[in-house]
Amino acid sequence: MANLLFYVALSIALLAVVISFFRLLIGPSVADRTVALDGMTIISISVITAAAFFLGRVIYIDVALVYALISFLGVIAIARFIERGL
């Protein structure tokens, strides 16, 4: 019962990643694509944590934490690039 609920939640989150990916493909400007990428990575953090739950390994939560850190730094770097160039 509980595992079924977590499978449903994981499926919905993966569907959300796929839907955000279309904005990454069609976005008219760089900022649109960056927003879509940011949304995809934030949703992927939840997906990685669900993988940690299913596999029973707590170390994957550290992977999600590092992924969040790199995503944050990447968005800051892209925003700086949009604002005034490298």
Partner 1 sequence: MELQSVLPILGGLISVVGALFLLLAAIGIIRMPDVYNRMQTGTKATTLGSILFLLGIGIAEPHWLGKIVLLIMFIVFTNPISSHVLARAAHFRGIPLAEGTVRDCLADDEAGEQGVCE
Site residues (CB under 8 A) for partner 1?
A: 1-6, 8-10, 12-13, 15-17, 19-20, 22-23, 29, 31-32, 34-36, 38-39, 42-43, 45-46, 49-50, 52-53, 58, 61-62, 64-65, 68-69, 72, 75-76, 78-80, 82-83
Closest CA to 40 of 61, 17, 12, 10: 17
Q: How far is the CB of 86 from partner 1 (least distance, A)?
A: 13
Q: How far is the CB of 50 from partner 1 (least distance, A)?
A: 7
Closest CA to 75 of 45, 43, 42: 42
Measured between alpha carbons, how far is residue 31 from residues 27, 71, 72, 77 in Å?
8, 15, 15, 12
